[in-house]
Chain A
């Protein structure tokens, strides 16, 4: 307290504008500006490493092929697989095969969201429901969806219903569980704050609970998509019939029957690309937006 420009301790503090200056100064001192990472850094940090990894895999694969580790019909070269993809493209079948599977996957996923969301809300908010079906719901997630295929075939025959049943059984539990986890992670202080503001009952769910649970819900949706896609491939692979139309799973099975190894590998790559593509193009941007708007996405150094 030796500094001469401080007012004597008993004097009244300054005028309103004085406080305003001080608080504005404090705000300026405490506010940090977050800069976006430059594009070149994004490229070298996030895009380049996976590209290098893929290139390495291709090199090792080509070396194994050139060294004749296996017969060429068992281990085709990367170029053979590329050629198979090119053939499919030239024949014009590739897009219709992808579309058959993708449309089923998306439709199955959307139905799963419609079913899984209310189930998740009930399990998260109603104690008896949670006690009754909560454990079953998380247990269901550990059943590989391929295990449902025989049951579904017996119930529904070789029909689209079989395929959708398997997709739903795979995706609904993970979407519901994601929502339950999201609701559980909501900090109680938000619910208290909401109640003091008058957000009770349905208004509380709409204005506080659901938005607060959104990050967990989006994570559940992302996982739900992965489960939908996996379950769909299992169903298409086993329940393949000409009447069902040719999806990626069925094409995989036909390539196996024709001992067409390049075709098998090409189809696996397509399955991978579609699954990752949807995640990268749809779910990751949504997730990043949700997290960034809440300041939950740590700035990358």
Chain B
């Protein structure tokens, strides 16, 4: 299935390892299998996009890696400890300011009180929102909220950043800018990113490796290694060509469901 990957990387060092992970909801015979025998390795510093149509269990998979849920079978290993998670909704706490949201994450991580303010400011500047410390969540635009959410996720100082369609609700122009910022942050830090999306071009724009999941149950259908140099542009021919190829495969996967 991994025909396009020249060779599987030897498993020496890993940031996230899923080993034959199966997840079903419900019990016994009536069980509804959402994820079926998923094995996946994310290397330290690697950027992987999980791509799939609805029903492929993308979000379930992230919940498992984040430790919010337990697999039915198989094992999940996140050697660096708890992974940070970013949602499609910003999920910032509206009773706190942007800066306080980040400071709370730092506090829960155990950062001493005296260091939190400066660290929050540093993270805000990393997402280009140096002046937003005292802003309330509702005073920020959609793109600013997701950037604060990114800063809050970074505040966890996790080795792995899980992103669950974080830019899906944004307009195209804002999304484009955030893609660029995400790649810059990823290059500056040593983060492994596991990014879930149903947007093929977004996956090709961002990832070093795109993993296509089939739907119902979610299985790994195919993987593509992407060696286009960063920074890429979502409009570029290279991105478009590969997106066409992946979209065809994705459509094939979706079409399989018609016969049943």
Contacts and interface: CB of A to CB of B under 8 A. Distances in A.
Given A9-B237, A197-B152, A295-B136, A30 B87 contact: no
B233 A11 contact: yes
Nearest to B83: A196
B68 A196 contact: yes
Q: How large is the interface on B (under 10, 10 to 19, 20 to 34, 35 or more residues)?
A: 35 or more
A207 B104 contact: yes
B233 A12 contact: yes
Contacts, number: 109
A282 interface: no
Interface in B177-211: 177-178, 180-181, 184
A190 B233 CA distance: 34
Given A199-B104, A214-B95, 15 more contacts: A9-B237, A11-B233, A19-B128, A19-B184, A20-B128, A23-B181, A24-B128, A27-B144, A193-B87, A193-B91, A207-B104, A212-B95, A293-B94, A293-B136, A294-B137
A294 B236 contact: no
Interface in A167-216: 189-190, 192-193, 195-199, 203, 207-208, 211-212, 214
A19 B233 CA distance: 13
Interface string A1-13: 1000000011111
Given A198-B108, A295-B136, A26 B93 contact: no
Of A1, A195, A296, the most chain B CB neighbours within 10 A belong to A195
Contact of B233 (A10, A20, A31): A10
Contacts of A211: 93, 95-96
B105 interface: yes
Interface of B: 66, 68, 82-85, 87, 89, 91-96, 104-105, 108-109, 128-129, 136-144, 147, 152, 156, 173-174, 177-178, 180-181, 184, 229, 231-233, 235-238
For the complex, would chain A's binding face be called helix, strand, loop or mixed by DSSP majority?
Answer: helix
B233 A212 contact: no
Contact of A13 (B82, B93, B139, B180): B180
A197 B94 contact: no
A249 B107 CA distance: 51
A12 to B, nearest CB: 5
A246 B232 CA distance: 81
A203 B138 contact: no
Given A9-B233, A12-B231, A295 B94 contact: yes
Nearest to A210: B95
Nearest to A22: B177
Given A9-B236, A12-B231, A19-B181, A294 B105 contact: no
Contacts of B108: 197-199, 203, 207
